[in-house]
Amino acid sequence: MTKAFIFDLDGVIVDTAKYHYLAWKKIASGLGIEFTHEHNELLKGVSRVRSLDIILELGKVEASQEDKDKWLIQKNEDYLSYLVDMDQNEILPGVLPVLQFLKEKNQPIALGSASKNARPILEKTGILHYFDAIVDGNDVSNAKPDPEVFLIAAKLLKTEPKDAIVFEDSVAGIQAANIGNMVSIGIGEKSILEEAQYIFKDFTQIDKSFIEQLIRK
């Protein structure tokens, strides 16, 4: 029996959510916009372009397309500067054993991320080979909470949405999985991810018997 196991990237597999936050905070500060960790939750799982719009809306700042394009480039350059030395050590605790266990159980694995930087991150951290399919920000036209990214991933893994299991750290991503009629597993705080079907603080809290139960379901 096989399911489709779909992983978000930022904040699920690697702790890059903190780098996105720092890079956006720099842009926001430059524009005199206050940008807190709470505001940052609104950006998790959201595309780069939409993230900038949310920040500008928060600060009630209107901007030309030219300025927006400039800030989008600055944000990404700053974000990428944090990734220069990235290696296996940036993989979040408990993730590798779960990927390994899924492979042992012959379960197909996909990435379902809004990021356009997903592939280089998987390469740098040495885990690209675990993924049977990669769907990222370059492949979708509708951002989470639209389920498009996960529906494409399930299709590539030749699995029905109801047999897909999604690991997500963002509210938008959990909503996308739920709307897509998939099993949603929140990785993070209960108070934030309350819409998820299951919630774990991190992957160290997920044991083999839980994964086996998901496979059998």
Q: Does 45 bind ligand BG6 (CB under 6 A)?
A: yes
Instruction: Give the 3-state DSSP-derived string for the chain, with helices as H, strands as E and coil as C.
Output: CCCEEEECCECCCECCHHHHHHHHHHHHHHCCCCCCHHHHHCCCCCCHHHHHHHHHHHCCCCCCHHHHHHHHHHHHHHHHHHHCCCCHHHECCCHHHHHHHHHHCCCCEEEECCCCCHHHHHHHCCCHHHCCEEECCCCCCCCCCCCHHHHHHHHHCCCCHHHEEEEECCHHHHHHHHHCCCEEEEECCCCCCCCCCEEECCHHHCCHHHHHHHHHC
Least Å from the CB of residue 45 to ligand BG6: 5
Q: Candidates 104-112, 113-121, 124-132, 200-208 — which segment interacts with ligand BG6 by CB under 6 A?
A: 113-121
Least Å from the CB of residue 194 to ligand BG6: 19
Q: Does 41 bind Mg ion (CB under 5 A)?
A: no
Identity of residue 20: H
In the list Mg ion, ligand BG6, none, the entry touching 43 (Cβ below 5 to 8 angstroms by class) is ligand BG6
Least Å from the CB of residue 27 to Mg ion: 19
Please state, in angstroms and rounded to a whole number, the distance separating the CA atoms of residues 196 and 90.
Answer: 25
Q: Does 51 bind ligand BG6 (CB under 6 A)?
A: yes
Least Å from the CB of residue 16 to ligand BG6: 8
Sign of the CA dihedral with 40 first, then 42, 45, and 48 last: negative
Site string (126-155) toward ligand BG6, x via CB under 6 A: -----------x------------------
Residues 145 to 204 in contact with Mg ion, rule: CB under 5 A = 169-170
Q: Does 46 bind ligand BG6 (CB under 6 A)?
A: yes
Name the closest residue to Mg ion (Cβ). Answer: 11
Q: Does 11 bind Mg ion (CB under 5 A)?
A: yes
Q: Does 47 bind ligand BG6 (CB under 6 A)?
A: yes
For binding to Mg ion (CB under 5 A), which residues are involved?
A: 8, 10-11, 169-170
Catalytic site positions: 8, 10
For binding to ligand BG6 (CB under 6 A), which residues are involved?
A: 9-10, 20, 43-48, 51, 76, 113-117, 137, 170
